[in-house]
Amino acid sequence: MTTAASMPVLDKGLANTIAAESAMSFIDGQNGILEYVGIDIDALARNSTFEEVVYLLWHRKLPTRGELDAFASGIRAEYDLPEVMWDVIKTIPTSAAPMHALRTLVSALALSDPEADDPSPAANERKGVRLLAKAPALIANFDRHRKGRDFIKPDSSLSIASAFLTMLNGQEPTETMAKALDVCLILHADHGFNASTFAALVTISTLSDMYSAVTTAIGTLKGPLHGGANEAVMHMLTEIGQMDRVEPYIREKLDRKERVMGFGHRVYKAYDPRASYLKTFAERLAEDTGNRELYEMSRRIDQIMHEAVAAKGIHPNVDFYSATTYYSIGLDIDLFTPMFVMSRIGGWVGHCIEQLADNKLIRPRCEYIGPHEAAYVPIEGR
- 25-28 sheet: strands from edge to edge: 25-28, 33-36, 39-40
Side chain identity at residue 212, one-letter code: S
Instruction: Compare residues 265 and 344 and give the one whose CB is closer to ligand COA.
Output: 265
- Closest contact distance (angstroms) between CB of 63 and ligand COA is 29
- Quick one: angle between helices 229-240 and 246-255, nearest 10? 120
Nearest residue to ligand COA, scored by beta-carbon proximity: 264
**Smallest Cα–Cα separation from 357: which of 121, 115, 57?**
121
CB neighbour class for 126 (10 Å; exposed up to 12, middle 13-18, buried from 19): middle
Least CB distance to ligand COA at residue 277 (A): 15
The interface region with ligand COA, picked from 132-140, 202-210, 258-266, 284-292 by CB under 6 A, is: 258-266
Residues 260-279, interacting with ligand COA (CB under 6 A): 260-266
* Residue 265 annotated among the catalytic residues of the structure: yes
CB of 260 vs ligand COA, minimal distance in Å: 4
What is the rounded CA–CA span in Å between residue 69 and residue 76?
A: 10
Query: Which member of 188, 265, 315, 351 is catalytic?
Result: 265
CB neighbours of 371 closer than 8 A, spacing ≥ 6? Answer: none
Cα(372)–Cα(375) distance, integer angstroms: 9
Shortest spacing between CB 182 and ligand COA, in angstroms: 20
* Rounded least distance, CB 33 to ligand COA, Å: 16
Q: In the bound complex, what is the minimum distance in angstroms from residue 319's beta carbon to ligand COA?
A: 5
Q: What type of residue is 289?
A: T
Residue 259 contacts ligand COA per CB under 6 A? yes
Which residue of the set 113, 143, 272, 319 is catalytic? 319
Report which of 59, 75, 67 is spatially closest to residue 126, judged by C-alpha positions: 75
Centre a 10 Å sphere on the Cβ of residue 217 and count the other Cβ atoms it contains. Answer: 32
Measured from the CB atom, the residue of 266 and 299 that comes closer to ligand COA is 266
Q: How far apart are CA 7 and CA 117, in angstroms?
A: 36
Nearer to ligand COA, 55 or 268 (CB): 268
Contacts of 174 (CB under 8 A, 6+ apart): none
When binding is defined by CB under 6 A, the residue of 319, 329, 336, 353 that contacts ligand COA is: 319
Q: Which is nearer to ligand COA, 88 or 217 (CB)?
A: 217
- Candidates 44-52, 210-218, 254-262, 295-303: pick the segment binding ligand COA (CB under 6 A): 254-262
* Interaction pattern, residues 273-312, with ligand COA; x per rule: CB under 6 A: ------------------------------------x--x
Binding ligand COA by CB under 6 A: which of 70, 84, 111, 225? 225
Contacts of 75 (CB under 8 A, 6+ apart): 51, 129, 132, 133, 160
Amino acid residing at 244: D
Residue 231 binds to ligand COA (criterion: CB under 6 A): no
* Region binding ligand COA by CB under 6 A among candidate stretches 49-57, 62-70, 162-170, 317-325: 317-325
| Least distance between ligand COA and beta carbon 257 (Å) | 6
User: Is there binding between residue 32 and ligand COA (CB under 6 A)?
Assistant: no
368 contact partners, CB below 8 Å, separation of at least 6: none
| Contact between residue 45 and residue 186 where contact means Cβ atoms under 8 Å apart | yes
Query: Among residues 317, 325, 343, 355, which is the contact residue for ligand COA, using CB under 6 A?
Result: 317
Residue 249 CB neighbours (<10 A): 18
Closest to ligand COA by CB, 16 vs 242, is: 16
Q: CB of residue 25 vs ligand COA: minimum separation in angstroms? A: 14
Residue type, 359: N
Annotation marks residue 113 as catalytic: no
Q: Inter-axis angle of helices 83-91 and 121-146, to 10 degrees?
A: 50
Residue count, binding to ligand COA (CB under 6 A): 16
Contact 81, 137 (CB under 8 A): yes
Residue numbers annotated as active site: 265, 319
Contacting positions for ligand COA (CB under 6 A): 225, 229, 259-266, 309, 312, 314, 317-319
